Amino acid sequence: MKVGIIGAGQLGRMLALAGYQLGIHSTFLDPDAASSGGQVGPVVVGALDDPASLRELAEQVDVVTFDIENVSVEVLADAAAAAAIWPPPHALAVTQDRLSEKQLFEAIGIPTTSYVPVADVADLARCGTTLGWPIVLKARTLGYDGRGQRIVRTPDDLEPAWRSLGGVPAIAEGWVDFDCELSLIAARGSNGSTAFYPLAENVHSDGILFSTTAPYLDAALQRMAEGYLDAILDQFGYRGVLTVEFFLAGGQLIANELAPRVHNSGHWTIEGAETSQFENHLRAVLGLPLGSTAPTGHAYMINLLGSIPGRERLLSIHGLHLHDYGKAPRPQRKVGHGTIVAADRSALLERAAALSAAVSQL
């Protein structure tokens, strides 16, 4: 079986690695042959929105998927003549625009943050009265890992913040005083079977995921989140892995963002679940039975940003699984992650504290 992956970042790399043990071979489309994914599989070198390059990829594989959301849906439509494309491109189209994403949540009845669409200066005038302060201003497209976002605390700062985003179409969101951030990952197969991972608790720093702890044990919230994701999966006729990030506030889940792909908050599943999100995504898009999503223990994952520091010290931490993405160092760049799995939560948190301290000191 052969899978084409649009984008050869660390997510694509981990997809390819998960596939090899099942005899699934991956080929990437990426502008950089030496990319993270390109170090573990062949690359069709080309722009992600180049029709000829995407067609070349599609003609070599059984199914095309993606590890990034900034992919031209129009170009995907042309490649669909050569290979199946999963998840469905229309799901990708919705999640490429924060406004259409919010409208999807509303249409399905999933609570989400209050917001005001911003197309011009006139729209800014009603943001404060509608949303209160502070406001989170986000570009509607191309924003991730804190990019394309500004926290605005006063009316005088709103227009300059919008200008700093390039004056592009945006949405202003009301501030959520949340208790914690949670995410839920689901996998849906070709026959409609669905498997949910346990809720995971996430900590962000400067808009970038810092750590994930799983499972977050709350049966009522788990059922609530699964119901929300089921509705989204049904709406799209979905196949593959899908993730929703939530704020937990006053016992209520408030949908923040949707990702139609494998997700950073699911890295813990490589060692911490019976079947990783990466393997289940491949199983789903290829029409294979889904694997168990049951946790193998309690897991803690931490992102390594900028560079892989102090390898000897990191590897001296009991039970640490280190993942190096093969990327050149760069400030705030995700270059790797580490995961610890323990039989009980108290033991996990003790080791997690040691790992976090080691990373912060390096």
Q: What is the CATH superfamily name and number for domain 180-360?
A: ATP-grasp fold, B domain (3.30.470.20)
- Residues of the chain with pLDDT > 70, as a percent, come to 98
Token representation of residue 261: 């792909």
Topology of domain 2-85 in CATH is Rossmann fold (3.40.50)
Q: What is the mean pLDDT of residues 340-355?
A: 91
Instruction: Give the tens place of pLDDT for each residue, 120-151.
Output: 999 998 998 899 999 999 999 987 666 789 99
* Residue 327: predicted pLDDT: 95
Higher pLDDT, 309 or 95: 95
DSSP lists the bridge partners of residue 118 as: 170
Can you give the pTM of this predicted structure?
A: 0.95
The mean pLDDT value of the chain amounts to 94
Quote the CA–CA distance of 252 and 244 in Å, as a whole number: 14
Higher pLDDT, 207 or 55: 55
pLDDT at 17 over 90: yes
Question: Of the CATH numbers 3.30.70.60, 3.40.50.720, 3.40.640.10, 3.30.1490.20, which one belongs to the domain with range 114-174?
Answer: 3.30.1490.20
* Residue 127: predicted pLDDT: 93
Instruction: Give the tens place of pLDDT for each residue, 221-252.
Output: 999 999 999 999 999 999 999 999 999 999 99
Higher pLDDT, 44 or 316: 44
Quote the CA–CA distance of 165 and 138 in Å, as a whole number: 8
Closest CA to 304 of 184, 210, 176: 210
CA 249 to chain centre: 21
333: amino acid identity, one letter = R
Domain boundaries, the chain: 2-85, 114-174, 180-360
- Please, which residues have CB within 8 angstroms of residue 191's CB and are 6 or more apart in sequence? none
Q: What is the mean pLDDT of residues 261-279?
A: 98
Burial of 172 (0-12, 13-18, 19+ CB in 10 A): buried
Beta strands 63-66 and 84-85 are parallel
Instruction: Give the tens place of pLDDT for each residue, 289-299.
Output: 999 999 999 99
Contact between 217 and 198 (Cβ < 8 Å): yes
